[in-house]
Structure 1
Amino acid sequence: MEDLGLKEVVSTISSQALGEALVVVMVAIAIIILTRKLLPALAGRLSGKPRLYLLASVPLIRLLVIVATIIIVVPILIEPSFENMVAMFGALGLVLGFAFKDYVNSLLAGIVILYEMPYRPGDWIQVDDHYGEVRSIGARAAEIVTPDDSVVVVPHNKLWNALLANGNGGTDNLMCVAKFHLEPNHDVRQVLNLLRDVAFTSPYTRTWQPVVVVVQNEPWGMLYRLKAYPLEPQEQFRYISDLTARGADVLAEAGVGFVSAPVTGG
């Protein structure tokens, strides 16, 4: 028997089959829309790991619905004979392979992300030069909102070739660091205690989390890093500003000066 070509396969599609396939596609779209609305609403009533896993399941469910739709629609449109399937999927494979190579790569990376969960909605991540909060995770990409309120779309295939830093890793604990570049001639232990007190007196500090002050000697003076946790990750920039302002006040009262311009490089 002579193999049917793709042209002959398409010519066998009837208007009734097209109508049935359209109904299946519309049902799939409705399921995806309901999933995107209902599951995040339900996750908003939960906390901890159940909330994170429920949010992460949204793109996985969408992907499963798409795959199931294809499996259902193809036999409706095309008589499921061996020759027709070979012709159809052979042509489809070529098109997808050349036109959607990067897209499929991102989809596969998205599946890996759903399993390993290197970032989740609500996480603050750094990818290349972009830092922000993960707003949503799709099947192909994640959206992060930067501190300047810009939305950056990060394809999941970035996972293969880029370093990713996660500030809070699925929790609401996000360490902030306020830096102080000070002149070298001062009482180091006094400054350590002053900066520690600055963190504990800030209204934004999680006082039940560790507060650490580290100092290191630099050619231009002393570099202090005040490390502490804000009440909410979204308050991190206001928190760092508050620590910096309070620290500057107490250091001025103690007579400790800042250096004007630290030396960078050789």
Structure 2
Amino acid sequence: MPEDSANLARLFNKLDRGDGIELTLIVVATIVLIRIAQRTLPWVANRLHGRPRHYLLASVPLLRLLLIGVALALMLPILIEPSMQNMVALLGAAGLAIGFALKDYVSSLIAGVVSAFEQPYRPGDWIELDGHYGEVVHVGMRTVALVTADDDTITVPHLKLWSSAVRNANNGSPVLQCAAVFHVHPEHDARRARAVLEDVAMTSPYLYFEAPVTVVIQEETWGTKYMIRAYPVDPRQQFRFVSDLTVRGREALSRIGARPLLPQVSLRS
């Protein structure tokens, strides 16, 4: 044990007052720069629209990761004699300790690094992860934060990337497809029903006109299923958009004599 302690002690340089001041300045500067980036970039992004907003928001976790990496690169030569033997010994000891004590935490951190480069989700995306659906408002080193339609903030560890599928509704795009579903009794004029549902979508105040509007029809054993697939102007309007389509769609179908019907089987919209 004394020999191991002596070997460990030889890994580190003897720090003087100047080294302590330099380390403190690096840490303080890194924290200040990260806080400035986390406040300034979202502030600027929220005043932009479309793809520039998504790209600027997506740069926040990458910039934070870059700043932390630069800080570590500057601090290690001050703390440790940069020899191959010292680096191998230190990394081996650190890896062993982390592997036993912080396996899940480190796995989340590694998944966070992977997510920063692969970007399965970015701030501004609407995703479903681990059974939760909402807008990504923050991508941290260990967790991703979602705000749901109920205005709840859900924090999910990046660890879920290893075992769960991520459903990304807009994937960095400023547009997001919505679906309004109607179940109708089979005795009706299908051509007329499709036409009135298209009119309902085209007259919605939330409709994004540059994207296509599609009315999908599926014949089931219990009746006919109609689905309006269209895009709102802003992804955050998706719930108002679907509600508007649903209310006016039901009224339009009722006017042409198409009676609503509850499906007799479990459906996925």
TM-score when scaled to structure 2?
Answer: 0.84
CA drift of 1:28 comes to: 1.6
CA drift of 1:263 comes to: 3.2
Q: Could you tell me how far apart the structure 2 residues matched to 1:242 and 1:64 are?
A: 44
What SS does the aligned partner of 1:247 have? helix
Q: Could you tell me how far apart the structure 1 residues matched to 2:255 and 2:146 are?
A: 41
Partner of residue 27 from structure 1, selected from 11, 19, 29: 29
Change (3 A) 1:100 1:63: farther
CA drift of 1:3 comes to: 7.8
**1:124 paired to 2:126:** yes
Counterpart residue number, 1:54: 56
Deviates more, 1:211-220 or 1:110-119: 110-119
Q: Could you tell me how far apart the structure 2 residues matched to 1:113 and 1:36 are?
A: 18
What SS does the aligned partner of 2:149 have? coil
Alignment deviations for residues 196-238 of structure 1 (CA, whole Å, 9 cap, x no partner): 1111121111233211111111121111111111121111111
Deviates more, 1:115-124 or 1:72-81: 72-81
Letter in 1 for 2:209: T
Counterpart residue number, 1:258: 260
Counterpart residue number, 1:241: 243
What SS does the aligned partner of 2:218 have? strand
Q: Could you tell me how far apart the structure 1 residues matched to 2:202 and 2:54 are?
A: 30
Count of paired positions: 265
CA drift of 1:164 comes to: 1.2
What SS does the aligned partner of 2:6 have? coil
CA drift of 1:257 comes to: 0.9
Q: Could you tell me how far apart the structure 1 residues matched to 2:4 and 2:197 are?
A: 83
CA drift of 1:148 comes to: 0.8
Counterpart residue number, 2:43: 41
Change (3 A) 1:13 1:200: same
CA drift of 1:13 comes to: 5.5
Partner of residue 209 from structure 2, selected from 199, 207, 210: 207
Counterpart residue number, 2:221: 219
Contact 1:194 / 1:250 at 8 angstroms: preserved in 2? yes
Q: Could you tell me how far apart the structure 1 residues matched to 2:12 and 2:87 are?
A: 12
**1:92 paired to 2:116:** no
Contact 1:5 / 1:87 at 8 angstroms: preserved in 2? no
Q: Could you tell me how far apart the structure 1 residues matched to 2:48 and 2:117 are?
A: 20
Deviates more, 1:189-198 or 1:208-217: 208-217
CA drift of 1:11 comes to: 11
Q: Could you tell me how far apart the structure 2 residues matched to 1:13 and 1:88 are?
A: 18
Letter in 2 for 1:130: H
Change (3 A) 1:256 1:160: same
CA drift of 1:96 comes to: 2.1
What SS does the aligned partner of 1:132 have? strand
Alignment deviations for residues 69-100 of structure 1 (CA, whole Å, 9 cap, x no partner): 33333443456677765654443332222223
Contact 1:195 / 1:247 at 8 angstroms: preserved in 2? yes
TM-score when scaled to structure 1?
Answer: 0.85
Counterpart residue number, 2:145: 143
Deviates more, 1:165-174 or 1:7-16: 7-16
Change (3 A) 1:202 1:107: same
**1:111 paired to 2:113:** yes
Q: Could you tell me how far apart the structure 2 residues matched to 1:263 and 1:93 are?
A: 53
Change (3 A) 1:112 1:8: closer
Q: Could you tell me how far apart the structure 1 residues matched to 2:202 and 2:44 are?
A: 36
Alignment deviations for residues 35-61 of structure 1 (CA, whole Å, 9 cap, x no partner): 212233343455554443332222222
What SS does the aligned partner of 1:170 have? coil
What SS does the aligned partner of 2:212 have? coil
What SS does the aligned partner of 2:28 have? helix
Q: Which runs of 5+ in 1 are unaligned?
A: none
What SS does the aligned partner of 2:179 have? strand
Change (3 A) 1:230 1:7: same
Change (3 A) 1:175 1:240: same
Q: Which runs of 5+ in 2 are unaligned?
A: none
Counterpart residue number, 2:68: 66
